[in-house]
A and B are shown apart, each in its own frame.
Chain A
Amino acid sequence: MATTVNPTIKDKDDLLIEDLGYDDHFHEHHDGDKYQSSFITTYIFSQDHKMIAKQFLITGMFWAIIGALMSLVFRLQLGFPDDSLAWLKPVLGKWIQLNAETGMGTLAPEFYYALVTMHGTIIVFFVLTAGLSGTFSNLLIPLQVGARDMASPLLNMLSYWFFFLAGVVMFASLFLSTGPFAGGWTAYPPLSALPQASSGSGAGMTLWVVSLVFFVVSVLLGGVNYITTVLNLRTKGMSMWRLPLTIWAFFITAIIGLLSFPVLVSGLLLIMFDRGLGTSFYLSEIFIGGQALDHVGGSPILYQHLFWFLGHPEVYIIILPAMGIVSEVLSVHARKPIFGYKAMVFSILAIAFLSFIVWAHHMFMSGVNPFISNFFVVFTLIIAVPSAVKVFNWIATLYGGNIRFNSASLFSIGFVSLFISGGLTGIFLGNSALDIQLHDTYFVVAHFHIVMGVAAFFGMFAGIYHWYPKMFGRFMNETLGRIHFWGTIAGSYAIFWPMHYLGMAGVPRRYYRFDTFDSFSHFTDMNQFITIAAIVVFALQVLFVINFFYSIWYGKKMTVKNPWQATTLEWTTPINVGHGNWEGNIPTVQRWAYDYGKDGHDFISQIEPLKEGEQTAH
């Protein structure tokens, strides 16, 4: 299949690639044919980066639906604590307790905690790490740097299957009779380190750790590949300064992941020793049922250090790919070069560096030395500087642009809005004095859902709408896409904006119900409002999922190779990309990725040679 030259009429890009491209003798090996020989090697154990990207995406979507459904259940509990949840009994079984007299069904409190924990774990790791970075790094790195595939397609395949395995283990834990882990997505000891501490702390926590270790293996295998591919397999002419910002973001994200996830594994290993062998790394002077345990000399704070040394970089692992996608999508649809390309790269680097020295801002209230806190306050606030540079550049890119408002660009603009709103509250939280009031309240919940949760989802949606034609050869429905956007942005603000007020009033996070507290009972209406907004937003995501799957088979067909008139290399590949990405030679790169609106041209592809006397940015 791939060895014969495409008989269809060649367009300008093909001719250029034939002319200037360089011959890596790829198709002479006939591996195109050997490669996708059966259904299993094409769709299941595929080593093709484009198929692996789709696997990550669809698995991520599966988990997003599970995670979101969980949040609906606990939101129902918070918004309508006195209403019966008996109708959920067929799904949740014994976790809905029926009152024999009234028939009223209540959510078991321990399952409420399990839901909150699983929601966080699933969304943070499975959806916004694997589903986002896994999908788009896989899809775009080889296509945009001009490589046939990843450096090691085999490790790439294993990366997906470790993720899958992590998912299977976590999924299994949902069905344990003692329930899944219920001590929060951060898994602080002692709840995580003592199997007898709560019902989810036993088998649930063991499976949680096993799942996360598989997950880390997946991240590391993927990351090694992404880094190597970006550094070693760029096509001729693709200098680092000519890389699209997407690639810069994925590249730095992979480095952060490689440096921080192993530290989480260290922390989890020590937990497993405390649980299994009775050591006391994290445990000291604990009484259960009036009995003193023989664990002495440990420190739960040690775990917090190890966890947040990963945990804070992790939030940037989530947001940087979204930032990269947004930079690219905004530039393409504003028909303007990205404003301040180099500043964008340097701000990614600065954020990445700073993300390793701010972790203790999650621990201001854990009794760490206030003088040490000051150090972390300063670095935390400094992170706002590169963040602001990025925001400024996005707005400047939009300014005066000939903006096409479509689903992809709307979600990118929405991202910028959310990132500003959520970033500003970070500056409040970064002050250790203000944090005395705000820590562990709904203010924090509002902060990180807006700046990370919803914003990263918006980056992901922007990427999906934008690169959907490259993935499936068809477009998603634009009208549904816009309904999805407007509903989701309004709805997300409706959910999370009020939470700031709850938080400032001191409403703590992770509580089962509030109506029984005098000081918080007047928030009943607000909690109901939030819950209703959450249901509406969920419904809109269902719409998105329908649009996504419907369009795979029935969407409008892509008839030209470069529907968005973009400059980057992925749009020089054939409409239905085969293995090896380009049919003949690999294209060579002649200019940077953002020649939009230049010298009277709407856009100039990266493979187009410089004209005589033409100046290039890089």
Chain B
Amino acid sequence: MAITVSDTTYTRNKIHPKKFALWVACGSMLMMFAGLSSAYMVREAAGNWLEFRLPQVFNLSTIIILLSSAALHFSFFQFKRGNERNYKLFLVLALLLGFGFIVTQYQGWLAMVEMGVPLKTNPSGDFIYVISGIHAAHVLGGIGTLIVALIHAFALPFQVTPGRKLRFELTLTFWHFVDFLWIYLFVFLSM
């Protein structure tokens, strides 16, 4: 691989530039959801707002994504420790749980339709479709990075190198971020 400028060692920095860049990018994505949440609140305050309970299956979603985050973190520990078997096992588990999250989100939307709140009923429902939909798109992005991680795990000979550790950490950070984001949205939308 061609060596790029950012590979030169910058010894005076504690945090790797790429990790820092990811944090900044997460902050930016957070602002998008902050924008949507405040639109939600402004619109809610304006009245003509249909009140309804979030479908139960969103609770399940929440548990699944939490477990997925935990699995990925555990996989990362095992990776650092050099335990190849557990590292791969929990990586696969994290990915499967990620798919589980998307499936349960979809079931949640179906449940909303069944409850009588399909799209276009009232902005209160529409906001939930839009916000959870955009979040799901971010989760799909995370799933993409997990798939790449998985390919790395199974295609390359196992080795704990700084480069691979960094890549894992980046994946982990983003995955925790979409997890955190969902918790925030879940609490916000349930209130």
Interface residues of A (CB under 8 A from B): 24-26, 29, 31, 34-35, 47, 147-155, 220, 223-225, 227-229, 231-233, 236, 258-263, 265-267, 269-270, 273, 277-281, 297-299, 302, 305-306, 309, 580
With both chains docked as a complex, state the minimum distance between the C-beta of B174 and any C-beta of chain A, in angstroms.
13
B160 at the interface (CB under 8 A from A): no
**Residue of A24, A26, A225, A263 with highest tally of chain B CB at under 10 A:** A263
CA distance A302 to B119 in the complex (A): 19
Residues of A within 8 A of B158 (CB): none
Residues of B within 8 A of A260 (CB): 31
B53 at the interface (CB under 8 A from A): no
* CB pair B120 A279 closer than 8 Å: yes
The size of the chain B interface, using a CB distance under 8 A, is 41
Q: When A232-B10, A258-B28, A262-B28 are in contact, do A31 and B17 touch as well, CB less than 8 Å?
A: no
Residues of A within 8 A of B2 (CB): 31, 34-35
* CB pair A151 B43 closer than 8 Å: no
**Residue of B2, B21, B27, B127 with highest tally of chain A CB at under 10 A:** B21
Residue on A nearest B33 in the bound complex, by CB = A266
B56 at the interface (CB under 8 A from A): no
Among B20, B38, B43, B48, point to the contact of A231 (Cβ < 8 A).
B20
B18 at the interface (CB under 8 A from A): yes
* CB pair B134 A305 closer than 8 Å: no
* CB pair B24 A277 closer than 8 Å: no
Contact flags B3-25 to A (C-beta < 8 A → 1, else 0): 11111111011010110110011
* CB pair B39 A224 closer than 8 Å: no
* CB pair B4 A153 closer than 8 Å: yes
B123 at the interface (CB under 8 A from A): yes
Q: When A233-B17, A305-B39 are in contact, do A25 and B6 touch as well, CB less than 8 Å?
A: no
B113 at the interface (CB under 8 A from A): no
CA distance A29 to B32 in the complex (A): 40
CA distance A263 to B9 in the complex (A): 36
With both chains docked as a complex, state the minimum distance between the C-beta of A577 and any C-beta of chain B, in angstroms.
14
* CB pair B35 A151 closer than 8 Å: no
* CB pair A270 B39 closer than 8 Å: yes
Among B4, B32, B119, point to the contact of A263 (Cβ < 8 A).
B32
Among A258, A263, A302, point to the contact of B27 (Cβ < 8 A).
A258
Residues of A within 8 A of B18 (CB): 151-152
Residues of A within 8 A of B27 (CB): 258-259
* CB pair A269 B24 closer than 8 Å: no
A to B CB contacts below 8 Å, 22 in the list: A24-B8, A25-B8, A25-B9, A31-B5, A149-B6, A150-B5, A152-B17, A220-B25, A231-B20, A232-B10, A232-B15, A258-B24, A262-B35, A263-B31, A263-B35, A267-B35, A279-B130, A281-B39, A281-B127, A299-B43, A302-B43, A305-B39
Residues of B within 8 A of A306 (CB): 35, 39
With both chains docked as a complex, state the minimum distance between the C-beta of A223 and any C-beta of chain B, in angstroms.
8
Residue on B nearest A155 in the bound complex, by CB = B21
Residue on B nearest A264 in the bound complex, by CB = B35
* CB pair B4 A266 closer than 8 Å: no
Q: When A259-B31, A266-B36 are in contact, do A297 and B13 touch as well, CB less than 8 Å?
A: no
* CB pair A152 B120 closer than 8 Å: no
Residue on B nearest A309 in the bound complex, by CB = B35
CA distance A285 to B143 in the complex (A): 41
Given A31-B2, A232-B13, output 7 extra A-B contacts at Cβ < 8 Å. A34-B2, A151-B20, A151-B21, A225-B21, A229-B17, A262-B29, A262-B32
Residues of A within 8 A of B12 (CB): 236
Residues of A within 8 A of B36 (CB): 266
Q: When A279-B120, A305-B39 are in contact, do A154 and B4 touch as well, CB less than 8 Å?
A: yes
With both chains docked as a complex, state the minimum distance between the C-beta of B136 and any C-beta of chain A, in angstroms.
13
Among A152, A227, A273, point to the contact of B126 (Cβ < 8 A).
A273
List B20-72 residues whose CB lies under 8 Å from chain A.
20-21, 24-25, 27-29, 31-36, 38-39, 42-43, 46, 48
CA distance A278 to B126 in the complex (A): 10
Residue on A nearest B8 in the bound complex, by CB = A24
* CB pair B120 A278 closer than 8 Å: yes
* CB pair B17 A228 closer than 8 Å: yes
* CB pair A26 B120 closer than 8 Å: no
B122 at the interface (CB under 8 A from A): yes
* CB pair A151 B6 closer than 8 Å: yes
Among B10, B24, B29, B42, point to the contact of A233 (Cβ < 8 A).
B10
Residues of A within 8 A of B29 (CB): 262
* CB pair A152 B32 closer than 8 Å: no
* CB pair B126 A281 closer than 8 Å: yes
Residue on A nearest B36 in the bound complex, by CB = A266
Residue on A nearest B13 in the bound complex, by CB = A232
* CB pair B34 A263 closer than 8 Å: yes
Residue on A nearest B3 in the bound complex, by CB = A29
Residues of B within 8 A of A281 (CB): 39, 43, 123, 126-127
* CB pair B6 A152 closer than 8 Å: yes
CA distance A265 to B39 in the complex (A): 12
CA distance A309 to B36 in the complex (A): 12
Residues of A within 8 A of B134 (CB): 269
Residues of A within 8 A of B33 (CB): 266
CA distance A333 to B152 in the complex (A): 55
Identify the 3 closest CB pairs spanning chains A and B, nearest first.
A263-B35, A262-B32, A266-B35
Residue on A nearest B131 in the bound complex, by CB = A266
* CB pair A153 B28 closer than 8 Å: no
* CB pair B119 A227 closer than 8 Å: no
Residues of A within 8 A of B31 (CB): 258-260, 262-263
With both chains docked as a complex, state the minimum distance between the C-beta of B119 and any C-beta of chain A, in angstroms.
6
With both chains docked as a complex, state the minimum distance between the C-beta of B18 and any C-beta of chain A, in angstroms.
7
Among B8, B28, B48, B123, point to the contact of A259 (Cβ < 8 A).
B28
CA distance A262 to B27 in the complex (A): 10
CA distance A43 to B3 in the complex (A): 20
Residues of A within 8 A of B42 (CB): 299, 302, 305
Residues of B within 8 A of A225 (CB): 21
Residue on B nearest A219 in the bound complex, by CB = B28
* CB pair B48 A297 closer than 8 Å: yes
Q: When A231-B20, A232-B20 are in contact, do A224 and B43 touch as well, CB less than 8 Å?
A: no
* CB pair A277 B120 closer than 8 Å: yes
CA distance A258 to B31 in the complex (A): 8
With both chains docked as a complex, state the minimum distance between the C-beta of A19 and any C-beta of chain B, in angstroms.
19
CA distance A298 to B29 in the complex (A): 25
Residue on B nearest A31 in the bound complex, by CB = B3
**Residue of B18, B27, B39, B127 with highest tally of chain A CB at under 10 A:** B39
Q: When A266-B39, A299-B46 are in contact, do A224 and B24 touch as well, CB less than 8 Å?
A: yes
Residues of A within 8 A of B21 (CB): 151-152, 155, 224-225, 227-228
Residues of A within 8 A of B48 (CB): 297
With both chains docked as a complex, state the minimum distance between the C-beta of B9 and any C-beta of chain A, in angstroms.
7
Q: When A31-B2, A224-B25 are in contact, do A279 and B32 touch as well, CB less than 8 Å?
A: no
* CB pair B10 A269 closer than 8 Å: no
**Residue of B15, B43, B119 with highest tally of chain A CB at under 10 A:** B43
CA distance A223 to B10 in the complex (A): 21
With both chains docked as a complex, state the minimum distance between the C-beta of A378 and any C-beta of chain B, in angstroms.
21
